């Protein structure tokens, strides 16, 4: 259940018998012709659909992360590393005070990896808690499903083009985009990096049939739910 659909008494009742909670995190960054909020939309949705049958509370998605390399694209919002780290720690502290002791972080953005280190460090200071960090799109079963459908899958390509992340009249070209030089991009400041990646798609098709996307999504939800059930 979404925390947005609960009041404080409902949370208090929940933690009396179960201490599991879910925190989705994402980013607001360029995704070529897809929504700037793609990473936040996907992490929250997969978290909600995974937790719903179990009744586990899902907190609102953290919509901002670490994405300095895209800061030359209008609409991208990036935090400083120290801000992001402090924010994750403060959220975990607050969730613990509410009674949550087993917390699943569902991450939708590759740049947010420092949150995994923060979680480990936080558990060192809070040995009575457990935190799992889950990159939903590159978890083993989900990633294998993506690669089986099309091994050329990258940022802002077809693999992120779901009905809930695409924009009207922005479905992208029919032909695949040649792979961008990501090694070069990572050595450049933001405005020069933008020149390397052009519209923002790292390479590959811009979209595939929705039946392919549904197949991936079903696996992603089940794989995320399995982490909650095995706890």
Domain ranges of the chain: 3-225
* pLDDT score of 170 more than 80: no
Query: What is the CATH architecture of 3-225?
Result: 3-Layer(aba) Sandwich (3.40)
Helix or strand (DSSP H, E) at 136: none
pLDDT of amino acid 22: 98
- pLDDT at residue 87 greater than cutoff 90: yes
pLDDT of residue 142: 98
Q: Which residues pair with 28 in a beta bridge?
A: 77
DSSP string, 19-50: -EEEEEE--B--BTTB-TTHHHHHHHHHHHHH
pLDDT at 228: 98
Q: Could you give the dihedral angle defined by the CA atoms of residues 200, 205, 210 and 212, in that order, rounded to the nearest 10 degrees?
A: -120
pLDDT of residue 45: 98
Question: Across the chain, what does the average pLDDT equal?
Answer: 97
* pLDDT band for position 27 (cuts 50, 70, 90): very high
Q: Label residue 168 by pLDDT band (50, 70, 90).
A: confident
**Confidence at 23, pLDDT banded by 50, 70, 90:** very high
**Residues above pLDDT 90, as percent of the chain:** 97
Q: What is the DSSP letter of 204?
A: B
């Amino acid at each position: 259940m979404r925390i947005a659909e609960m009041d404080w008494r409902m949370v208090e009742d929940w933690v009396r018998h179960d201490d599991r909670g879910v925190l989705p995190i994402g980013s607001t960054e360029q995704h070529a012709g897809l929504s700037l909020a793609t990473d936040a939309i996907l992490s929250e949705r997969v978290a909600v659909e995974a937790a719903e049958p179990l009744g586990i509370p899902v907190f609102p998605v953290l919509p901002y992360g670490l994405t300095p390399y895209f800061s030359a694209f209008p609409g991208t919002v990036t935090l400083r590393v120290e801000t992001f780290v402090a924010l994750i720690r403060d959220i975990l502290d607050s969730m613990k005070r509410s009674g949550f002791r087993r917390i699943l972080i569902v991450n939708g953005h590759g740049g947010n990896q420092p949150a995994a280190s923060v979680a480990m460090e936080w558990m060192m200071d809070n040995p009575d808690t457990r935190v799992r960090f889950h990159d939903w799109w590159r978890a083993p079963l989900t990633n294998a499903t993506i690669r089986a459908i099309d091994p050329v899958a990258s940022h802002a390509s077809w693999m992120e083009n779901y009905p809930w992340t695409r924009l009207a009249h922005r479905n992208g070209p029919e032909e695949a985009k040649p792979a961008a030089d990501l090694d070069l991009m990572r050595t450049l400041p933001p405005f020069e990096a933008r020149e390397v990646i052009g519209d923002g798609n790292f390479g590959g098709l811009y979209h595939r049939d929705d039946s392919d996307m549904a197949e991936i999504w079903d696996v992603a939800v089940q794989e995320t739910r399995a982490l909650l059930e095995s706890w």
